[in-house]
Structure 1
Protein backbone atom coordinates (compact mmCIF):
# COMPACT_ATOMS: atom_id res chain seq x y z
CA UNK A 1 0.00 0.00 0.00
CA UNK A 2 1.46 3.35 -1.07
CA UNK A 3 0.39 6.35 1.02
CA UNK A 4 0.65 9.95 -0.13
CA UNK A 5 -0.09 12.77 2.32
CA UNK A 6 -0.44 16.02 0.40
CA UNK A 7 -0.44 19.51 1.89
CA UNK A 8 -4.01 20.43 0.92
CA UNK A 9 -7.04 19.49 -1.18
CA UNK A 10 -5.61 20.92 -4.40
CA UNK A 11 -2.34 19.02 -4.08
CA UNK A 12 -4.29 15.87 -3.22
CA UNK A 13 -6.51 16.37 -6.28
CA UNK A 14 -3.53 16.82 -8.55
CA UNK A 15 -1.91 13.63 -7.25
CA UNK A 16 -5.16 11.71 -7.80
CA UNK A 17 -5.47 13.07 -11.33
CA UNK A 18 -1.85 12.16 -12.11
CA UNK A 19 -2.47 8.55 -11.06
CA UNK A 20 -5.64 8.35 -13.18
CA UNK A 21 -3.98 10.05 -16.17
CA UNK A 22 -1.00 7.69 -15.94
CA UNK A 23 -3.38 4.73 -16.11
CA UNK A 24 -5.06 6.12 -19.23
CA UNK A 25 -1.73 6.95 -20.86
CA UNK A 26 -0.39 3.46 -20.15
CA UNK A 27 -3.60 1.78 -21.32
CA UNK A 28 -5.81 4.06 -23.47
CA UNK A 29 -8.58 1.41 -23.46
CA UNK A 30 -8.54 0.99 -19.68
CA UNK A 31 -11.61 0.44 -17.53
CA UNK A 32 -11.98 3.10 -14.85
CA UNK A 33 -14.12 2.60 -11.77
CA UNK A 34 -15.32 6.08 -10.88
CA UNK A 35 -16.63 7.76 -7.74
CA UNK A 36 -18.63 10.88 -7.00
CA UNK A 37 -18.80 13.48 -4.25
CA UNK A 38 -16.57 16.32 -3.18
CA UNK A 39 -13.44 14.18 -2.83
CA UNK A 40 -12.85 13.45 -6.57
CA UNK A 41 -14.27 16.72 -7.86
CA UNK A 42 -10.90 18.48 -7.90
CA UNK A 43 -9.22 15.55 -9.63
CA UNK A 44 -11.86 15.59 -12.35
CA UNK A 45 -11.18 19.30 -12.92
CA UNK A 46 -7.50 18.53 -13.50
CA UNK A 47 -8.38 15.71 -15.92
CA UNK A 48 -10.74 17.99 -17.86
CA UNK A 49 -8.05 20.69 -18.05
CA UNK A 50 -5.44 18.24 -19.33
CA UNK A 51 -7.89 16.95 -21.92
CA UNK A 52 -8.62 20.47 -23.13
CA UNK A 53 -4.89 21.10 -23.39
CA UNK A 54 -4.62 18.09 -25.69
CA UNK A 55 -2.62 16.03 -23.20
CA UNK A 56 -5.20 13.35 -22.42
CA UNK A 57 -7.87 11.46 -24.36
CA UNK A 58 -10.74 9.36 -23.02
CA UNK A 59 -11.77 8.16 -26.48
CA UNK A 60 -11.22 4.47 -25.77
CA UNK A 61 -11.82 4.49 -22.00
CA UNK A 62 -14.66 2.50 -20.43
CA UNK A 63 -16.09 3.56 -17.08
CA UNK A 64 -18.30 2.04 -14.41
CA UNK A 65 -19.50 4.02 -11.42
CA UNK A 66 -19.66 2.83 -7.86
CA UNK A 67 -23.18 3.80 -6.92
CA UNK A 68 -26.39 5.77 -7.41
CA UNK A 69 -29.25 6.90 -5.22
CA UNK A 70 -32.44 4.87 -5.45
CA UNK A 71 -35.31 6.97 -6.74
CA UNK A 72 -33.35 9.74 -8.48
CA UNK A 73 -33.61 10.21 -12.22
CA UNK A 74 -30.36 10.72 -14.16
CA UNK A 75 -31.42 14.32 -14.76
CA UNK A 76 -31.85 15.09 -11.05
CA UNK A 77 -29.13 17.51 -10.01
CA UNK A 78 -28.14 15.31 -7.07
CA UNK A 79 -28.02 12.05 -8.99
CA UNK A 80 -24.60 10.58 -9.55
CA UNK A 81 -25.16 10.31 -13.29
CA UNK A 82 -25.78 14.07 -13.31
CA UNK A 83 -22.62 14.59 -11.24
CA UNK A 84 -20.51 12.57 -13.66
CA UNK A 85 -21.89 14.35 -16.70
CA UNK A 86 -21.38 17.78 -15.12
CA UNK A 87 -17.93 17.16 -13.69
CA UNK A 88 -16.30 14.91 -16.28
CA UNK A 89 -18.18 13.20 -19.09
CA UNK A 90 -19.59 16.33 -20.78
CA UNK A 91 -16.14 17.92 -20.92
CA UNK A 92 -13.98 15.12 -22.34
CA UNK A 93 -14.11 12.87 -25.38
CA UNK A 94 -15.37 9.74 -23.63
CA UNK A 95 -17.97 7.85 -25.71
CA UNK A 96 -21.34 8.12 -23.91
CA UNK A 97 -22.13 4.45 -24.53
CA UNK A 98 -18.89 3.54 -22.74
CA UNK A 99 -20.04 5.02 -19.42
CA UNK A 100 -22.11 3.08 -16.90
CA UNK A 101 -23.79 4.40 -13.75
CA UNK A 102 -26.26 2.30 -11.75
CA UNK A 103 -29.91 2.93 -12.62
CA UNK A 104 -31.60 4.49 -9.62
CA UNK A 105 -35.01 4.10 -11.26
CA UNK A 106 -34.78 0.41 -12.11
CA UNK A 107 -38.04 -1.49 -11.57
CA UNK A 108 -36.18 -4.70 -10.79
CA UNK A 109 -33.22 -3.88 -8.53
CA UNK A 110 -32.16 -7.50 -8.04
CA UNK A 111 -31.97 -8.16 -11.76
CA UNK A 112 -30.21 -4.87 -12.39
CA UNK A 113 -27.59 -5.57 -9.72
CA UNK A 114 -26.89 -9.02 -11.16
CA UNK A 115 -26.55 -7.53 -14.65
CA UNK A 116 -24.18 -4.83 -13.37
CA UNK A 117 -21.93 -7.44 -11.79
CA UNK A 118 -22.04 -9.53 -14.96
CA UNK A 119 -21.03 -6.51 -17.03
CA UNK A 120 -18.08 -5.75 -14.73
CA UNK A 121 -16.95 -9.38 -14.92
CA UNK A 122 -17.25 -9.28 -18.72
CA UNK A 123 -14.71 -6.44 -18.72
CA UNK A 124 -12.28 -8.48 -16.67
CA UNK A 125 -13.04 -6.12 -13.77
CA UNK A 126 -11.76 -2.56 -13.69
CA UNK A 127 -8.15 -1.52 -14.16
CA UNK A 128 -8.22 1.35 -11.67
CA UNK A 129 -10.94 1.80 -9.06
CA UNK A 130 -11.30 5.27 -7.53
CA UNK A 131 -12.76 5.32 -4.01
CA UNK A 132 -13.71 7.96 -1.50
CA UNK A 133 -14.50 6.97 2.05
CA UNK A 134 -17.29 7.89 4.43
CA UNK A 135 -16.81 9.10 7.98
CA UNK A 136 -17.97 5.65 9.11
CA UNK A 137 -15.50 3.89 6.81
CA UNK A 138 -17.91 3.05 4.01
CA UNK A 139 -16.55 2.62 0.48
CA UNK A 140 -19.02 3.03 -2.33
CA UNK A 141 -22.19 2.80 -0.29
CA UNK A 142 -21.04 -0.37 1.46
CA UNK A 143 -22.04 0.62 4.97
CA UNK A 144 -20.66 -0.88 8.22
CA UNK A 145 -22.37 -4.15 9.12
CA UNK A 146 -21.87 -7.72 10.18
CA UNK A 147 -20.45 -8.95 6.86
CA UNK A 148 -18.85 -7.75 3.64
CA UNK A 149 -21.44 -7.87 0.85
CA UNK A 150 -19.76 -9.19 -2.28
CA UNK A 151 -22.37 -8.40 -4.93
CA UNK A 152 -23.81 -5.13 -6.23
CA UNK A 153 -26.82 -4.53 -4.02
CA UNK A 154 -29.41 -2.10 -2.68
CA UNK A 155 -28.18 -0.49 0.54
CA UNK A 156 -30.14 1.10 3.36
CA UNK A 157 -28.05 4.19 4.03
CA UNK A 158 -26.74 4.72 7.55
CA UNK A 159 -28.02 7.72 9.46
CA UNK A 160 -24.50 9.13 9.52
CA UNK A 161 -24.32 8.88 5.72
CA UNK A 162 -27.68 10.62 5.35
CA UNK A 163 -26.48 13.35 7.72
CA UNK A 164 -23.23 13.79 5.77
CA UNK A 165 -25.08 14.09 2.44
CA UNK A 166 -27.86 16.36 3.70
CA UNK A 167 -25.82 19.44 2.75
CA UNK A 168 -26.42 18.63 -0.92
CA UNK A 169 -30.22 18.64 -0.57
CA UNK A 170 -32.79 21.26 0.41
CA UNK A 171 -33.60 19.36 3.61
CA UNK A 172 -32.43 16.18 5.32
CA UNK A 173 -35.78 14.58 4.49
CA UNK A 174 -34.96 14.96 0.79
CA UNK A 175 -31.90 12.72 1.01
CA UNK A 176 -32.67 9.28 -0.48
CA UNK A 177 -32.65 6.53 2.11
CA UNK A 178 -31.31 3.84 -0.23
CA UNK A 179 -28.68 3.48 -2.92
CA UNK A 180 -27.44 0.88 -5.36
CA UNK A 181 -23.79 0.17 -4.63
CA UNK A 182 -21.09 -1.88 -6.29
CA UNK A 183 -20.21 -4.66 -3.86
CA UNK A 184 -16.94 -5.46 -2.18
CA UNK A 185 -16.30 -8.28 -4.68
CA UNK A 186 -16.13 -5.95 -7.67
CA UNK A 187 -14.09 -3.37 -5.76
CA UNK A 188 -11.55 -5.98 -4.66
CA UNK A 189 -11.49 -7.40 -8.18
CA UNK A 190 -9.98 -4.16 -9.50
CA UNK A 191 -6.37 -4.45 -10.60
CA UNK A 192 -5.50 -1.19 -8.83
CA UNK A 193 -7.32 0.88 -6.21
CA UNK A 194 -6.98 4.60 -5.54
CA UNK A 195 -8.44 5.59 -2.15
CA UNK A 196 -8.72 9.31 -1.41
CA UNK A 197 -9.92 11.42 1.50
CA UNK A 198 -9.90 15.05 2.52
CA UNK A 199 -10.74 16.78 5.77
CA UNK A 200 -10.28 16.14 9.47
CA UNK A 201 -13.61 14.31 9.68
CA UNK A 202 -12.11 11.49 7.56
CA UNK A 203 -8.99 10.97 9.71
CA UNK A 204 -10.47 8.20 11.87
CA UNK A 205 -11.85 6.33 8.85
CA UNK A 206 -8.49 6.50 7.09
CA UNK A 207 -6.62 5.34 10.18
CA UNK A 208 -9.04 2.47 10.73
CA UNK A 209 -8.94 1.41 7.11
CA UNK A 210 -5.16 1.33 6.92
CA UNK A 211 -4.08 0.36 10.44
CA UNK A 212 -7.14 -1.15 12.11
CA UNK A 213 -8.57 -4.63 12.22
CA UNK A 214 -10.03 -5.94 8.96
CA UNK A 215 -13.72 -5.87 9.77
CA UNK A 216 -17.01 -5.15 8.00
CA UNK A 217 -17.65 -2.61 10.73
CA UNK A 218 -15.06 -0.49 8.87
CA UNK A 219 -15.60 -1.53 5.23
CA UNK A 220 -12.52 0.33 4.00
CA UNK A 221 -10.33 -2.00 6.05
CA UNK A 222 -10.83 -4.73 3.43
CA UNK A 223 -8.40 -2.81 1.23
CA UNK A 224 -5.56 -4.04 3.42
CA UNK A 225 -5.98 -7.34 1.56
CA UNK A 226 -5.70 -5.78 -1.90
CA UNK A 227 -2.27 -6.12 -3.57
CA UNK A 228 -2.16 -2.70 -5.26
CA UNK A 229 -3.61 0.27 -3.36
CA UNK A 230 -2.59 3.92 -3.48
CA UNK A 231 -3.95 6.14 -0.70
CA UNK A 232 -3.99 9.90 -1.31
CA UNK A 233 -5.06 12.22 1.50
CA UNK A 234 -4.55 15.79 2.56
CA UNK A 235 -2.65 16.59 5.74
CA UNK A 236 -5.65 16.76 8.05
CA UNK A 237 -7.16 13.50 6.76
CA UNK A 238 -3.76 11.88 7.15
CA UNK A 239 -2.90 13.44 10.51
CA UNK A 240 -3.59 10.27 12.53
CA UNK A 241 -1.50 8.19 10.14
CA UNK A 242 1.45 10.48 10.82
CA UNK A 243 0.83 10.27 14.55
CA UNK A 244 0.81 6.46 14.27
CA UNK A 245 4.16 6.51 12.46
CA UNK A 246 2.83 5.06 9.21
CA UNK A 247 5.38 5.21 6.38
CA UNK A 248 4.40 7.51 3.53
CA UNK A 249 5.73 8.12 0.04
CA UNK A 250 7.86 11.17 -0.57
Structure 2
Protein backbone atom coordinates (compact mmCIF):
# COMPACT_ATOMS: atom_id res chain seq x y z
CA UNK A 1 0.00 0.00 0.00
CA UNK A 2 1.20 3.49 -0.87
CA UNK A 3 -0.21 6.75 0.48
CA UNK A 4 -0.17 10.14 -1.23
CA UNK A 5 -1.48 13.29 0.44
CA UNK A 6 -3.06 16.13 -1.54
CA UNK A 7 -3.19 19.71 -0.26
CA UNK A 8 -6.97 19.97 -0.52
CA UNK A 9 -10.18 18.33 -1.72
CA UNK A 10 -9.97 20.02 -5.13
CA UNK A 11 -6.52 18.61 -5.89
CA UNK A 12 -7.60 15.23 -4.56
CA UNK A 13 -10.48 15.01 -7.04
CA UNK A 14 -8.32 16.22 -9.90
CA UNK A 15 -5.57 13.68 -9.19
CA UNK A 16 -8.06 10.83 -8.83
CA UNK A 17 -9.60 11.75 -12.18
CA UNK A 18 -6.14 11.95 -13.76
CA UNK A 19 -5.34 8.40 -12.67
CA UNK A 20 -8.59 7.13 -14.16
CA UNK A 21 -7.96 9.08 -17.36
CA UNK A 22 -4.45 7.64 -17.63
CA UNK A 23 -5.86 4.13 -17.20
CA UNK A 24 -8.35 4.71 -20.02
CA UNK A 25 -5.72 6.24 -22.30
CA UNK A 26 -3.30 3.41 -21.63
CA UNK A 27 -5.93 0.70 -22.10
CA UNK A 28 -9.00 1.96 -23.99
CA UNK A 29 -10.94 -1.24 -23.22
CA UNK A 30 -10.35 -0.95 -19.49
CA UNK A 31 -12.75 -2.54 -17.02
CA UNK A 32 -13.35 0.10 -14.35
CA UNK A 33 -14.80 -0.39 -10.88
CA UNK A 34 -16.68 2.76 -9.91
CA UNK A 35 -17.96 4.24 -6.66
CA UNK A 36 -20.58 6.78 -5.65
CA UNK A 37 -20.83 9.42 -2.95
CA UNK A 38 -20.07 13.09 -2.50
CA UNK A 39 -16.31 12.64 -2.89
CA UNK A 40 -16.78 11.07 -6.31
CA UNK A 41 -18.99 13.79 -7.77
CA UNK A 42 -16.01 16.10 -8.28
CA UNK A 43 -13.97 13.22 -9.71
CA UNK A 44 -16.63 12.51 -12.32
CA UNK A 45 -16.96 16.21 -13.13
CA UNK A 46 -13.26 16.28 -14.02
CA UNK A 47 -13.66 13.18 -16.21
CA UNK A 48 -16.61 14.74 -18.03
CA UNK A 49 -14.52 17.85 -18.63
CA UNK A 50 -11.64 15.76 -20.02
CA UNK A 51 -14.05 13.95 -22.31
CA UNK A 52 -15.41 17.22 -23.67
CA UNK A 53 -12.18 19.19 -23.90
CA UNK A 54 -9.51 16.53 -24.46
CA UNK A 55 -11.47 13.77 -26.17
CA UNK A 56 -11.05 11.21 -23.40
CA UNK A 57 -12.77 8.20 -24.94
CA UNK A 58 -14.96 6.01 -22.75
CA UNK A 59 -16.54 4.08 -25.61
CA UNK A 60 -14.39 0.98 -25.18
CA UNK A 61 -14.61 0.87 -21.39
CA UNK A 62 -16.75 -1.45 -19.30
CA UNK A 63 -17.82 -0.36 -15.82
CA UNK A 64 -18.99 -2.16 -12.70
CA UNK A 65 -20.27 -0.17 -9.75
CA UNK A 66 -19.75 -1.27 -6.19
CA UNK A 67 -23.32 -1.30 -4.93
CA UNK A 68 -26.99 -0.42 -5.16
CA UNK A 69 -29.84 -0.06 -2.71
CA UNK A 70 -32.31 -2.91 -2.50
CA UNK A 71 -35.85 -1.89 -3.43
CA UNK A 72 -35.02 1.15 -5.56
CA UNK A 73 -35.60 0.77 -9.31
CA UNK A 74 -32.99 2.18 -11.67
CA UNK A 75 -35.42 5.00 -12.52
CA UNK A 76 -35.55 6.23 -8.90
CA UNK A 77 -33.59 9.49 -8.63
CA UNK A 78 -32.06 8.27 -5.35
CA UNK A 79 -30.67 5.06 -6.85
CA UNK A 80 -27.02 4.65 -7.74
CA UNK A 81 -28.10 3.84 -11.29
CA UNK A 82 -29.51 7.38 -11.47
CA UNK A 83 -26.47 8.85 -9.70
CA UNK A 84 -24.06 7.36 -12.25
CA UNK A 85 -26.25 8.42 -15.19
CA UNK A 86 -26.47 11.96 -13.83
CA UNK A 87 -22.83 12.47 -12.91
CA UNK A 88 -20.99 10.45 -15.56
CA UNK A 89 -22.59 8.05 -18.01
CA UNK A 90 -24.90 10.42 -19.91
CA UNK A 91 -22.03 12.86 -20.50
CA UNK A 92 -19.22 10.64 -21.82
CA UNK A 93 -20.73 8.54 -24.60
CA UNK A 94 -20.47 5.13 -22.97
CA UNK A 95 -23.07 2.63 -24.20
CA UNK A 96 -25.59 1.58 -21.53
CA UNK A 97 -24.82 -2.11 -22.11
CA UNK A 98 -21.22 -1.47 -21.04
CA UNK A 99 -22.25 -0.09 -17.64
CA UNK A 100 -23.18 -2.44 -14.82
CA UNK A 101 -24.67 -2.01 -11.36
CA UNK A 102 -26.24 -4.64 -9.09
CA UNK A 103 -29.97 -5.02 -9.59
CA UNK A 104 -31.57 -3.94 -6.35
CA UNK A 105 -34.95 -5.10 -7.63
CA UNK A 106 -33.87 -8.72 -8.24
CA UNK A 107 -36.28 -11.33 -6.92
CA UNK A 108 -33.36 -13.46 -5.68
CA UNK A 109 -30.73 -11.16 -4.19
CA UNK A 110 -28.22 -13.91 -3.45
CA UNK A 111 -28.43 -15.12 -7.05
CA UNK A 112 -28.01 -11.55 -8.27
CA UNK A 113 -24.77 -11.30 -6.29
CA UNK A 114 -23.47 -14.48 -7.88
CA UNK A 115 -24.50 -13.25 -11.34
CA UNK A 116 -22.67 -9.96 -10.76
CA UNK A 117 -19.42 -11.65 -9.75
CA UNK A 118 -19.70 -13.92 -12.81
CA UNK A 119 -20.21 -10.88 -15.06
CA UNK A 120 -17.05 -9.24 -13.67
CA UNK A 121 -15.11 -12.42 -14.34
CA UNK A 122 -16.54 -12.72 -17.85
CA UNK A 123 -15.42 -9.15 -18.60
CA UNK A 124 -11.85 -10.11 -17.69
CA UNK A 125 -11.77 -8.72 -14.16
CA UNK A 126 -11.50 -5.14 -12.97
CA UNK A 127 -8.39 -3.24 -14.07
CA UNK A 128 -8.79 -0.29 -11.72
CA UNK A 129 -11.21 -0.14 -8.79
CA UNK A 130 -12.11 3.28 -7.38
CA UNK A 131 -13.13 3.30 -3.72
CA UNK A 132 -14.35 5.77 -1.14
CA UNK A 133 -14.18 5.24 2.62
CA UNK A 134 -17.27 5.07 4.80
CA UNK A 135 -17.18 6.78 8.17
CA UNK A 136 -17.39 3.34 9.81
CA UNK A 137 -14.57 2.02 7.62
CA UNK A 138 -16.59 0.27 4.96
CA UNK A 139 -15.60 -0.06 1.32
CA UNK A 140 -18.58 -0.65 -0.91
CA UNK A 141 -21.25 -1.46 1.63
CA UNK A 142 -19.14 -4.01 3.46
CA UNK A 143 -20.27 -3.02 6.92
CA UNK A 144 -18.45 -3.92 10.15
CA UNK A 145 -18.03 -7.70 10.61
CA UNK A 146 -18.29 -8.38 6.87
CA UNK A 147 -16.02 -11.26 5.97
CA UNK A 148 -12.79 -10.10 4.40
CA UNK A 149 -13.33 -12.86 1.81
CA UNK A 150 -16.97 -11.89 1.08
CA UNK A 151 -18.46 -11.89 -2.40
CA UNK A 152 -21.15 -9.70 -3.95
CA UNK A 153 -24.26 -10.19 -1.81
CA UNK A 154 -27.14 -8.48 0.02
CA UNK A 155 -26.20 -6.71 3.26
CA UNK A 156 -27.98 -4.89 6.08
CA UNK A 157 -26.81 -1.28 6.25
CA UNK A 158 -25.48 -0.08 9.59
CA UNK A 159 -27.35 2.77 11.32
CA UNK A 160 -24.37 5.11 10.86
CA UNK A 161 -24.33 4.37 7.13
CA UNK A 162 -28.01 5.20 6.79
CA UNK A 163 -27.37 8.43 8.70
CA UNK A 164 -24.42 9.30 6.47
CA UNK A 165 -26.48 8.68 3.31
CA UNK A 166 -29.65 10.43 4.43
CA UNK A 167 -29.02 13.52 2.29
CA UNK A 168 -30.84 12.13 -0.75
CA UNK A 169 -33.70 10.88 1.42
CA UNK A 170 -34.92 14.22 2.78
CA UNK A 171 -32.36 14.02 5.57
CA UNK A 172 -34.22 11.09 7.13
CA UNK A 173 -32.02 8.07 7.96
CA UNK A 174 -35.12 5.94 8.42
CA UNK A 175 -35.98 6.58 4.75
CA UNK A 176 -32.68 5.13 3.52
CA UNK A 177 -33.28 1.53 2.42
CA UNK A 178 -32.06 -0.87 5.12
CA UNK A 179 -30.65 -3.34 2.57
CA UNK A 180 -28.18 -3.02 -0.30
CA UNK A 181 -26.34 -5.23 -2.75
CA UNK A 182 -22.60 -4.75 -2.63
CA UNK A 183 -19.43 -6.14 -4.11
CA UNK A 184 -17.79 -8.16 -1.36
CA UNK A 185 -14.42 -7.30 0.11
CA UNK A 186 -13.05 -10.42 -1.53
CA UNK A 187 -14.47 -9.33 -4.89
CA UNK A 188 -12.87 -5.90 -4.51
CA UNK A 189 -9.48 -7.38 -3.64
CA UNK A 190 -9.42 -9.26 -6.96
CA UNK A 191 -9.09 -5.96 -8.85
CA UNK A 192 -5.70 -5.49 -10.47
CA UNK A 193 -5.30 -1.98 -9.07
CA UNK A 194 -7.16 -0.10 -6.35
CA UNK A 195 -7.36 3.64 -5.67
CA UNK A 196 -8.92 4.64 -2.34
CA UNK A 197 -9.86 8.34 -2.28
CA UNK A 198 -10.58 9.93 1.10
CA UNK A 199 -11.61 13.54 1.82
CA UNK A 200 -12.55 15.56 4.88
CA UNK A 201 -12.02 15.68 8.63
CA UNK A 202 -15.02 13.40 9.20
CA UNK A 203 -12.90 10.56 7.77
CA UNK A 204 -9.68 11.43 9.65
CA UNK A 205 -9.95 9.02 12.59
CA UNK A 206 -11.15 6.20 10.38
CA UNK A 207 -8.34 6.73 7.88
CA UNK A 208 -5.88 6.54 10.76
CA UNK A 209 -7.47 3.28 11.88
CA UNK A 210 -7.27 1.87 8.34
CA UNK A 211 -3.62 2.81 7.83
CA UNK A 212 -2.24 2.41 11.34
CA UNK A 213 -4.50 -0.10 13.06
CA UNK A 214 -4.85 -3.86 12.72
CA UNK A 215 -6.50 -5.63 9.82
CA UNK A 216 -9.96 -6.49 11.10
CA UNK A 217 -13.40 -7.42 9.83
CA UNK A 218 -14.67 -4.53 11.95
CA UNK A 219 -13.12 -2.20 9.34
CA UNK A 220 -13.41 -3.69 5.86
CA UNK A 221 -11.06 -1.09 4.34
CA UNK A 222 -8.23 -2.47 6.47
CA UNK A 223 -8.24 -5.51 4.15
CA UNK A 224 -6.63 -3.30 1.50
CA UNK A 225 -3.32 -4.03 3.23
CA UNK A 226 -3.54 -7.46 1.57
CA UNK A 227 -3.61 -5.90 -1.92
CA UNK A 228 -0.28 -5.59 -3.72
CA UNK A 229 -1.23 -2.56 -5.87
CA UNK A 230 -3.29 -0.21 -3.71
CA UNK A 231 -2.87 3.55 -3.67
CA UNK A 232 -4.50 5.68 -0.97
CA UNK A 233 -5.14 9.32 -1.87
CA UNK A 234 -6.21 11.67 0.92
CA UNK A 235 -6.53 15.40 1.42
CA UNK A 236 -4.90 17.14 4.38
CA UNK A 237 -8.13 17.16 6.37
CA UNK A 238 -8.53 13.39 6.05
CA UNK A 239 -4.86 12.93 6.96
CA UNK A 240 -4.99 15.20 10.01
CA UNK A 241 -5.11 12.36 12.58
CA UNK A 242 -2.24 10.30 11.14
CA UNK A 243 0.77 9.67 13.36
CA UNK A 244 2.82 8.15 10.50
CA UNK A 245 3.14 11.46 8.66
CA UNK A 246 6.98 11.56 8.92
CA UNK A 247 7.17 8.16 7.20
CA UNK A 248 4.80 9.34 4.47
CA UNK A 249 6.83 12.50 3.88
CA UNK A 250 10.00 10.41 3.68
CA UNK A 251 8.41 8.06 1.14
CA UNK A 252 7.34 11.02 -1.00
CA UNK A 253 10.95 12.15 -1.29
CA UNK A 254 12.27 8.78 -2.42
CA UNK A 255 9.49 6.74 -4.08
CA UNK A 256 9.41 7.33 -7.86
CA UNK A 257 5.68 6.57 -8.14
CA UNK A 258 4.77 9.05 -5.43
CA UNK A 259 7.08 11.69 -6.86
CA UNK A 260 5.38 11.25 -10.22
CA UNK A 261 2.00 11.85 -8.56
CA UNK A 262 3.39 15.04 -7.04
CA UNK A 263 4.41 16.17 -10.54
CA UNK A 264 0.85 15.67 -11.75
CA UNK A 265 -0.36 18.26 -9.23
CA UNK A 266 2.13 20.95 -10.21
How far is the alpha carbon of 1:55 from its aligned partner?
Answer: 3.1
Secondary structure in 2 matching 1:239: coil
How far is the alpha carbon of 1:153 from its aligned partner?
Answer: 0.7
Secondary structure in 1 matching 2:4: strand
Residue in structure 2 matched with residue 188 of structure 1 by the alignment: 189
Residues 150-204 of structure 1 show CA distances to partners (whole Å, capped at 9, x for unaligned) of 2101010001101111122112221111100001121000000010111111012
How far is the alpha carbon of 1:54 from its aligned partner?
Answer: 3.3
- Would you say 1:114 and 2:149 are equivalent positions? no
Map 1:190-229; keep pairs closer than 5 Å.
Answer: 190-229=191-230
Native 8 Å contact 1:71 1:105 kept in 2: yes
Q: TM-score, normalised by structure 1?
A: 0.96
Residue in structure 1 matched with residue 30 of structure 2 by the alignment: 30
Native 8 Å contact 1:69 1:80 kept in 2: yes
Native 8 Å contact 1:7 1:234 kept in 2: yes
Q: TM-score, normalised by structure 2?
A: 0.90
Aligned CA RMSD, in angstroms, stands at 1.3
Residue in structure 2 matched with residue 233 of structure 1 by the alignment: 234
How far is the alpha carbon of 1:34 from its aligned partner?
Answer: 0.3
Distance 2:149 2:69 in 1: 18
Native 8 Å contact 1:120 1:186 kept in 2: no
- Number of residue pairs the alignment of both structures matches: 250
Distance 2:95 2:19 in 1: 21
Q: Higher mean Cα deviation, 42-51 or 225-234?
A: 225-234
Gaps of 5+ in 2: 253-257
How far is the alpha carbon of 1:226 from its aligned partner?
Answer: 0.3
How far is the alpha carbon of 1:244 from its aligned partner?
Answer: 4.7
Residue in structure 1 matched with residue 68 of structure 2 by the alignment: 68
Distance 1:34 1:146, change over 3 A: closer
Gaps of 5+ in 1: none
Q: Higher mean Cα deviation, 65-74 or 145-154?
A: 145-154
Residue in structure 2 matched with residue 48 of structure 1 by the alignment: 48
